[in-house]
Chain A
Amino acid sequence: MISVLKLVKALILLGCLSKCSAENVPTTDLEGRLEFPSSAPFNITTKITLNNGEYTTYSRTDGSFVIYNVPPGIHQLDIDSKTFHFGQIKIQLLEEAMDAPKCLEYAFPGAPKRALKYPLILNPKATLQYFEAKKGFSIFSLLKNPMVIMMLFSVVLMVMMPKMMEGMEPEEKARMKEQMKNQQDPSAMLTQMWSGITGGEEKEADTKKRIKRG
């Protein structure tokens, strides 16, 4: 029974100690200022979070901000701007040097780190582009399309062909007309091609000659 009481007492003492130690954790205020690259104050009210929303504050109208009662540790500061991209800040707060936090800036995810002075002065790194630029109607964009190029090529041929025909001999013209006539009947063209390959054309010519003789 005594041992149980001792255990209870020890637990109460332990609880007290843990509570006391929790209460004695030093805290500090993190200060900074948002500025445009031209050093003009960032006058857009912007939400600023520490450790993904654990602590939240907003920038004042002059761009300055304070996050209150921050305990020691490594903290991550994010500026939630919908217009500009700010880098991510990692802040190391050591218990023995709460007034002199070490700050590192990562301009973009995966970018090399850069040491920052404290109090923080943060500039936007880029303007955020949410929308794809719409291509307006342009003749040049049409000209890039293969279908349009093919169409233009056939237009050129349509214009050029009659002019090319003008310089041709009448016999050649007649032969071409004959060929085109054949092309209109695919079966005749195929027969002609087939006979050309197998020598049928010659046989056919011989037959015609025989008929004529007959």
Chain B
Amino acid sequence: MTTINNNNNFLVVVLIVLISVLIGDEGVNAMYKDDVGVLDFSIATAGHGPIGVVHTNNKNGIVITTDKPTTTTTTSCFVAGRQINDGSLVWRRNVCSVPDEDAQAHAIAVGNDDDDDADAFYTVDNVGIVRAWTIENGDLLWDTRIHAAAAAPKLWVTKVGGTTTYVAVASAEDELVFLNAETGTIVDKVSASKSTGNGQRVEWLSVLSSSTSTSMIKIIFSKVQVVDGTIQTDMFGADGDSVVVSSLLECSSSSGKMTVLLGTERGSTTLFSLETTGDDGVVNVKVHWTAEEGLASLSSAIVLDASHLGSDDLVEEKDAVSRKLSLAGRLNSQWEDVVGMLSTANGLINNNAVNFSYRDHLFGFVKVAALLSPKVHRIWGMSTAGKDRGSIRWSLDLPKKAIWHSMVHGTTNSAKATHGIHGDTHSREILVLSVSSASVDWMCIDGTSGAINSQDSIKISSPVVQVLPVYGTNTGGCRQASILLGEDLSLTVVPADTETNALIKKQLYKTPNGLYTHKIDKVANKVESYRVAHTEEDDKFVARSIGLTSFAGEQIVKVAYPLRHEDVKSMSTILGDNSLLLKYINPHMTVVVTVLSDSEHQTATTVATALEKERNGKAKKPVGAGAPGSSIPPSSQNGSEDLPNMFINLVDTVSGRVLYRHSHSNVDGDKKVSVVISENWVIYTYVNEKTRRTEIGVLTLHEGMIEPKGLTFFARPEQSTSFSSFDARESKPVVLSKVYAFPKAVTALGVTSTRQGISRQNILIASSDGALNTINKMILETRRPVGEAKPEEKKEGLMPYRELIPESPLFSLTYNQTNEPFTSIISTATSLESQSLVFGFGGPDLFFTRTSPTKGFDVLPETFNKILVGSTTAGIVIALLVVQRMGKKKTLKQGWL
């Protein structure tokens, strides 16, 4: 029996080894091809916002849409083609060639659908570039330039003699330019002086003969009409949305069926059909598909936990998460997974809840993204997990009269702010503010379901310049509240009820140093901080000025704040020689990026004088500015070119002081500057107009350093666990900096977020080619040594400094997807430490994915080969039974001998 037991033990060991080998082999840095579409999804919109023009091409089964034309300009130059059947986007093209987005305009024309050669559509922009595209897949057939297009571009497709198709384009020189539709060559020019004179313009033309001579063309002129008006229709859009465009796709009197495409002012595109059945004349309405074009203009997004296992409670949530991540919970999840697999594979077990993934809920992957588009005045709730991911769960319309809208969630002020702000909240309630000149309309909504818990309107005395988020009450109007700072320094509490007022008063008196807010004035270019105070006499909140920072001669171009939900696990970095580099975490810090607006002012400043002295051989650090980044090329002959023209200002918004100021030269001020703050890192990108490349500046802020023997049982350095902006000793950081070059233009920056902040953070970079890249933070480390790395630096994992950051397609989260550039990136944590959710938006495309910055150390990958492990286990068990039987037989045989 000993032999049998030994064999059994051995086989069990074999089983354990094989399983651990198979599991251990799964950790990878890049994606596998099998993972495509498993962890991520993307939504492609038409890009142009609400539909203004529709052309249906039944031959190719495609509906072509573009922006609403105005008499002068359009807001978007995207033309898109959607499948009529399911509404999926087939192609999207930018048809403008004008660099200035504010001065773009275009027009579109499509040939008669009945013609055999109606496989192309034609566009012209306001500088006269005419292009022909295929309808089927948006391929460019030809492009050419007429001398100059009319201010409001217009073109027609017309057929001559039933054979040759021409494209007629209205020119700025009162001419109609005829081009051969097949080749794009200019055939003829016809005077159309009336088109721009006497308040008339060409509305329609047709060719009456096989010639394109003037006498044979019939041109209909009409008075200039306002075409930007909206057609009010009550037939569709009962929520106040109005129909802008309707197109009849199909109308058959014999079958009694009518198919219509509607485009609304808020960007909803719907294809529906009306069908009469039977003799009773009952009309059935069937909506085939709906697309939300407003998703192309998102300004902000909040990702909320929608897990069924979680609890919508601030305190109990942590316990609930701990409970569900217990061994029993995880084993249960595996069992549910197996059951799910079996039910989908063979239908053995009837599982009706196909959309319910226990695993997703357990690990906190079930989230709902609340998305706000101020352009179309609408918010949506989008599912991000399960089979309905990417679908719209709910949508709410906001008042059109509002100047701006905002979603408020969490707080910027926490009592324990040493390890991050901790301003995030597990509450699912979002306070939506719609601010107009005289009033604020607010709604308190459940972000996961879209249910409106309460709403009201408050009158304000002056325009709102700042929103200070604070916690609300369970008994009051909303669990999320806010204080609005007016231009006249008035403070308005939202929701305006006694419970919320009482709670804010309580928070005000409970906080040791009070509550603060600030105002960023981009016109006067100054940052002013205020203390929130309460007056007992009239029971009102008032703002009292504390500090002011003025950026005279500069223009504020970007303001960035620390991430509210970020959790800083360690307050120090352990160096290679075991010394500790203390992180400077200031929850009140904001990064204000300014560019030089007045060069004359600058040349007269002390900075310029100091630089001039330095250039003349008298080395002196510029006053008020840090050393310019390494991107600055050697001094040119013209000294003024090297003057710093962009400044990174670290401003304390409580005390109003500038903590640190860093400068860069030769920055292209017209290009976008992106900034992200992560723990004690400030990362920003800008375009160097001299080198024509994108540079990434990195600042790391430190409180100081503790020597290897400085922290022992007997020696403990004095360090405060709380942070005060008014403590002069603590509030100034020691700053290290480095500048790197990135091969592509950067459109947005972000950072991965994990539950406890233990996993390494990766930097997320959205580039101009539409990719979303993830970069190891160590690559951007400011302490990368110039020259060869010392042994202790190598021990820490520091690589020698190289200016250029390598760009590999393996680091692209969007892999080979074709996207337009993202302008915003947010990241949110899950219940698992290794997993981080990333959402890119702000352009025509939306992209959501799950990523593991330090590999998936606490979760099996989605594509884990469960069949292989299962079959190996089954094989070993069978072998075990066979060996056991053989052993018994052998023992019995030996007993008889």
Contacts and interface: CB of A to CB of B under 8 A. Distances in A.
Interface string B861-879: 0000100100000000000
A45 B865 contact: no
B812 A74 contact: no
A211 interface: no
Interface string B1-28: 0000000001001100110110011001
Nearest to A109: B743
A35 interface: no
A56 B816 contact: no
B688 to A, nearest CB: 12
B768 A68 contact: no
Given A54-B99, A110-B804, A134 B33 contact: yes
Contacts of A56: 94, 96-97
Contacts of A123: none
B769 A131 contact: no
Contacts of A147: 17, 20-21
A58 interface: yes
A145 B769 contact: no
A74 B691 CA distance: 10
A59 B138 CA distance: 11
B97 A82 contact: no
B304 interface: no
Contacts of B25: 135, 141
Interface string B484-501: 000000000000000000
B32 A132 contact: yes
A57 B97 contact: yes
B817 A82 contact: yes
B596 to A, nearest CB: 20
Interface in A142-158: 142, 145, 147-148, 151, 154-155, 158
A102 interface: no
Contact of B10 (A57, A58, A134, A158): A158
A80 B810 contact: no
B30 A132 contact: yes
A129 to B, nearest CB: 6
Interface stretch (B140-148, B269-277, B659-667): B140-148
A115 B806 CA distance: 23
A90 B692 CA distance: 9
Contacts of A61: 139-141
A52 B689 CA distance: 12
Given A74-B692, A130-B809, A151-B13, A58 B768 contact: no
B20 A69 contact: no
A128 interface: yes
A78 B767 CA distance: 12
A58 B807 contact: no
Given A74-B692, A109-B807, A110-B804, A137 B127 contact: no
Interface in B765-781: 768-770
Nearest to A132: B30
Contacts of B769: 78, 80
Interface residues of A, number: 45
Contacts of A189: none
A33 interface: no
Interface string A34-75: 000000000001000101111111111100001111000010
A20 to B, nearest CB: 17
Nearest to A90: B692
Contacts of B31: 130-132
Contacts of B141: 60-61
A18 interface: no
Nearest to B31: A131
Nearest to B29: A132
A128 B99 contact: no
Contacts of B143: 57, 60, 66
Contacts of B865: 137
Contacts of B806: 109
A129 B20 contact: no
A29 B96 CA distance: 15
A49 B694 CA distance: 15
Contacts of B24: 145
B600 interface: no
A153 B817 CA distance: 48
B52 to A, nearest CB: 21
A204 B32 CA distance: 68
Contact of B127 (A45, A49, A68, A145): A68
Given A66-B143, A151-B17, 9 more contacts: A45-B138, A51-B99, A55-B97, A68-B129, A69-B127, A109-B807, A131-B30, A132-B32, A134-B34
22 contacts: A52-B687, A53-B821, A55-B99, A57-B140, A61-B139, A61-B140, A69-B127, A78-B768, A78-B769, A110-B804, A128-B809, A129-B809, A130-B809, A131-B31, A131-B32, A134-B34, A137-B865, A141-B25, A145-B21, A147-B17, A148-B21, A154-B10
Which 6 A/B pairs are nearest by Cβ-Cβ distance? A52-B745, A109-B743, A130-B815, A132-B30, A54-B99, A131-B33
